[in-house]
Structures are given as structure tokens and as C-alpha cells.
Chains A and B, each alone.
Chain A
Amino acid sequence: MTIDQDPRTVPDDVEPTSSPPGTGRRIEGRSPWALAWQRLRRDRVAMASLGVIVLVVLVAVFAPVVAAVTGHPPNEQFRETGLSPQGLPVAPNGEFWFGTDDLGRDVLVRIAYGARVSLLVGVVATALTVAIGVVVGIVAGFVGGVVDTVLARLVDIVLSMPFLLVALALVSITGPSLTVTIVVIGFFSWAAVARIVRGQVISLREREFVEAARSLGASDRRIMFVDVLPNVLAPVIVYTSLLVPIVILTEASLSFLGLGLAPPTPDWGGMINEATNYYTTSWWFVFFPGLALLVTTLAFNLFGDGVRDAFDPRSDRLIGH
């Protein structure tokens, strides 16, 4: 790490070699978090990906504006203008920029609304996954003994279940809804987080600062969540950022298999599912929702890679600066 040589921060009248603390060159004690953030900000690929993510968020937030500008509500079927005389989807044109789907609905407007589902599920289901995983991992690793054995078997069970299959079966029983999708994804994904956290906690448990906290009379719960938790956050954050795109793809896969949100709610995976019978005649019907999905997951993956690199500069770097 080079010392900041920016002339604006170095007053001219200060001797650089013997400056007392608080003056002269800024040699601040930077926390690992500040260092990671600094590295991340210098990472052009990660920042560009973040820009794309922000763009997708804006599209999701302003989906009603897209609908207003085009004058096409997301679920309205334009049987006159939106379908060809043969009843097929209409190609992109001045009125329907991304064309229409099999029911004569505007693909562009539906993609904008679909971004809401993808992002909402991506963020909320990931948060749920990480929350369960961290709590189980910390408790299993810290308490140990029988509790650890039971939780470890539970992790084994969840990891051995065929996730997509059981998820599909569950959704078919409960009926599709946003909540069910989020809960199902969260329920089947926490085990991997728990495994990572548990491993970290087992080595942290024996460290002096835990002993110090205990000798000060801290309760187990306080040690787990005030002293140990901050020390496992770095790997958890890295894993979280790489989990979001996986969750988005999972949601899309569930919808593609016909068990996402109930139609007519616009949803990228569901749109591609509806498009499978039309891919030969109406490429735009597959292409635009597919592109939206691909760009979003790619941006999250590239950003997640940047986050990983920022926390661990020695890590297996994928895309260069």
C-alpha cells in the first residue's frame, strides 16, 4: 500500500519525517472494511457491474413509468395491435419496442415489471438464507457437542435433498406465490452458509479475545453475536454477493418450470417459459427477457467477484483490473 501522496492532503509546512500524530501525511489506521471498500472502488469491472445493477434497480422501481410512457399496462392484451392476423406475437416496432408476447402484451413493459420480481426474490431470499445460515453456523460451531452434531446432520440432510425437485413439489402443494418462492429458496440454501460459518467459528472459539470476553463475564449469546459474529462477516459478505445471482437464476428456473409466480404476474423465467413454443417464429419473445436475465446475473457475478477480491486480494482473481 503506497502512502497517499496527494499534495492537497500534505500541508507544505510540515516536516514529513517527524510529524506528530494527527498532522502531516495521512497515515490513518484504516479498518479492514475501509481497505476493502477502497479496493472495490478502484476495481473498474466491479464498479461497472454495480452501475448495471443500479440500472436494473432503477428499471424495476420506475416500471410504472415505462408502462406510462409506452401507454401499455403490463397485463393488458392488445389483441388488435399486439397480435398479427395469424394470432402470432408482433415483432419489435415503433409501438412495441421489444415486440409482443403470445397474448399481445408488451414485452418491454413486462421485462421492466419482471425486474421487480427477480431483484426482490434475489435480495430477500439471499438475506433469509444468510440469516439462517449465520445463526445456525455460529451456534453449531460455538456451542459444539450434541447441538453441533444435530445441526451438522441437519445440514447434511438439506444438502443431500434434490433441491429443485423438492422445491417444485413444495410449490405445487402450497400453490405459487412470492412468499413461497422466497421461503423455499431460503430453506434449501442456508446449509452451505452454515457450513462455512461453522468452520470459521470453530477456529475462532479458541482465540484469546473470546476467553477475554468470557472472563469479563459475557454471556454465551453475547460472545457469539457481539464478539464472534463480526469476525466471520468477511467470508459471509463474499458468499452473499455470489449467492444473489444464484438465487435469481433459481427463481427464474422455478418460473421457467411453470411454478414461479402465478400468471399473469410478469416474471423473466415465466416469460421465457411462455416463449418456448414461439422461439422459432418470434425470437424477441425469448431474446429480450433472456438478455435481461443474463445481463443481471452477469453483473451480480462480476460484482461478487470484485467483492471477493476486495476482501482477499490474494484470492483467485478472475477478471483483471
Chain B
Amino acid sequence: MVRFLLRRVLQGVVVLWLITMAVFALFYIAPNDVARTLAGRQASPETIALISHRLGLDQPIWKQYLDFVWRALHGDLGYDYYHQVPVTTIMGAALPVTASLVLGAAVIWVGLGVTNGVLSAVRPRSVTDRSLTVFSLFFYSMPSFLLGLVLLYFLYYQLTLHGLAVLPAGGYSPLAGGLGTWLQHLLLPWFTLALVQAATYTRLTRGSMLDVLGEDYVRTARSKGISERRVVVRHALRSALTPVVTQFGIDVAGLLGGAIVTEQVFSLPGLGKTAVDAINQQDLPVIIGIVLFASTAVVVANIAVDAVYAVLDPRVRLH
């Protein structure tokens, strides 16, 4: 188990190292005129060169890369070009927003997805199964920005128009500012993200439950006279959830790097929106910081999922 984990961690480090190189090469080789933008339109070439020098942009790219890696290993991701704020500070401010969004939505999508999947699988081809299937395919095909706007139109605009100003049009209110306003600001974003995600989990749970319900040990459990509910929940669901756990780890990690579209629709200042703003300004240190964080989240989640898998299913460990 320890050797298995060690090998996976090593592979993960290599992957991350290669990603930093790829991203660095991508952004720093591309022509960028940050120094010119910062200097203003009337700046002399000397001023531009000075700014370039201050940002370290006049160094050879390999030196910039080594500096970057060296500082990153010490927990320093550099400063943003425009306000000289440490990138880690910017990300530290954005992360709670994204985390609130993703974790809250995750509770809803797993609950909804797994429940619907089980209900579908218990009676395949029934009316319930088909309606739930149509429901999930509908949301699976729905672009999240469209769903966000639809929810905003009915639950913010129409409600407010009719004197029920319950939900805001967007923005974020930190948890420290009160549980109520935090919930108010996140309710619509949560459902936007969750309804689209839940569809995958319904399909996954349904398929995996159908497989497991056909297994011999489920028949054995039934023949022992255990109630159907107990067979489904205690015996079948438990092992049917393994692929769901995998998917969950990967999805949450992928979204922690920023639920870009949802954050954009609801003006949530999370990592995704911060990244998009940085991209529009060519603020390279911020972009690279967020890309690096997002990739790390995915790599760590993959290792964690493998480890959980190995605990849940000892057969995996041999490979």
C-alpha cells in the first residue's frame, strides 16, 4: 500500500512539473505587451524597458522559469502585474468563494444524482425510471450558463418583480457575514452547478446499481429474507457507489480550479472568475498560479481516489 501510494505521488509530481513547464512555455513565449500596457500610451522605450526589467521579463525564459519554480517551492507565486499584490493573496481571497460554491453544490448533486439513480435502477424501464432519465438527459444537455440565466430570470427577476425580493442577482457574501446572506447568494449558483452535474451521477449510479443488483450476493441477501429496502441500501448501494466515489473526487477537484461559467454568470469572485479576469488582462502570474493550483487539485484527487479505491476494494492494490 505504501509503495503503491509512493509511486502514484511520484508520478503526480512529474506530471505537475511537466505541466508547469508546458504552461510557462505557452505563456512566456507568446508575445505579450504587459510592460507597454502598464507604462501607458506615451511611455518612452526606456520606461518600458525599466518596467520589463522590474517584472523580470527581460531575463531569458529558462531563467524566469527556474526563478518561478524556486519561488513556487517556497510558497511564493509572484506578484500580479497590475497591483503588485502577491498571487497567493489573490488566490487566498478567491478560494473560499469557489469552495463554498463547489462543496455546497456537491452535496446537492450527489444527493440528487444518487437518489435518482437508485430509484431508476430499482425499477428499470418503469415510468419513474423513464421520467428520471428524461429529466437527467435534459439537464445533461443544458449549458450551465443558460440554466443560470433561466434560474435568475424566474427566481430573482420575476420574484423580485412580484415583491418577493428573496434572492440577489449575483455576487458573494462571506460566511463570516452571516449564514443567511451566504445561503441567499449561493442558492441559485448551487442549483445551477448541481443540476447539470447530477445528471452524470444519475446515469452512473443507475448503471452501477443495475450491475450490482444482478450479482449473486444480492440474491443471497434476498433469499435470507432481508427486506428489499435493506438489500438495496445496505448491500447493493454500498458497492455500487465505488465508481461514484471516483467520479466525485475528479469532479470536485476539477471544479475547485474554478467553476468558471457559473462564477461568471453569478458574478462570484471565485478562482474561475479571477482567472478569466486575469486572462483578459494578460496577468500571467495570476493565470499560472491558478492553473497550477487547479492541476494540483486534480492530481491530488486522482491519487486520493486511487487510495480510497484500494481501501474499498483490496483487489486493486495488486496492480
A: residues with CB less than 8 A from B are 153, 156-157, 159-162, 164-166, 168-170, 172-174, 245, 249, 252-253, 256-259, 269, 272-273, 275-276, 279-280, 283, 286, 290, 293-294, 297-298, 300-302, 305, 316-320
Interface contact B294-A165, CB-CB below 8 Å: yes
Bound-state Cα–Cα, A232 to B196, Å: 31
26 of the cross-chain contacts (CB-CB < 8 Å) are A153-B14, A156-B15, A160-B19, A160-B295, A160-B298, A162-B295, A162-B298, A165-B258, A165-B287, A165-B291, A165-B294, A168-B279, A172-B279, A173-B26, A252-B145, A253-B261, A257-B264, A269-B143, A269-B145, A272-B146, A279-B157, A290-B143, A290-B149, A317-B125, A318-B133, A320-B130
Q: What CA separation (Å) do A168 and B157 show in the bound complex?
A: 30
> Which of B81-89, B102-110, B202-210 lies on the face that meets chain A?
B202-210
Chain B contact residue count (CB 8 A cutoff): 55
Q: How far is the CA of A318 from the CA of B117 in the complex (A)?
A: 11
A319 touches B254 (CB 8 A): no
Is the Cβ of B257 less than 8 Å from the Cβ of A165? yes
Specify which of B27, B32, B265, B294 is in contact with A276 (CB 8 Å cutoff): B265
Q: Which of B22, B144, B153, B302 contacts A283 (CB 8 A)?
A: B153
- Chain B residues within an 8 Å CB radius of A293: 143, 146
A-B CB pair tally, cutoff 8 Å:
141
Interfacial residues of chain B within 125-139, with CB under 8 A of chain A in the complex: 125, 130, 133-134, 137-138
Considering residues A161, A258, A283, A302, which has the most beta carbons from chain B within 10 angstroms of its beta carbon?
A161
B142 at the interface (CB under 8 A from A): yes
Asked whether A165 lies within 8 Å of B30 as measured between CB atoms, the reply is: no
Residue from A153, A164, A252, A279 whose CB has the most chain B CB atoms within 10 Å? A164
Is B236 on the interface with A (CB-CB < 8 A)?
A: no
Grouping DSSP codes into helix (H, G, I), strand (E, B) and loop, the B interface class, with mixed when no group exceeds half, is helix
Asked if A286 contacts B137 (CB within 8 A), the reply is no
B residues contacting A by CB (< 8 A) are: 11, 14-16, 18-19, 22-23, 26-27, 30, 32, 125, 130, 133-134, 137-138, 140-146, 149-150, 152-153, 157, 203, 206-207, 210, 254, 257-258, 260-261, 264-265, 272, 275-276, 279-280, 282, 287, 290-291, 294-295, 298-299, 302
What separation, in Å, do the CA atoms of A168 and B134 have in the docked complex? 32
Inter-chain contact A160/B157, CB cutoff 8 Å = no
Closest chain B residue to A164, Cβ basis: B260
**Are A276 and B143 neighbours in the complex by a CB distance under 8 Å?**
no
Q: A172-B280, A249-B143 are in contact. Are A162 and B291 (CB under 8 A)?
A: yes
A161 to B257, CA, bound (A): 10
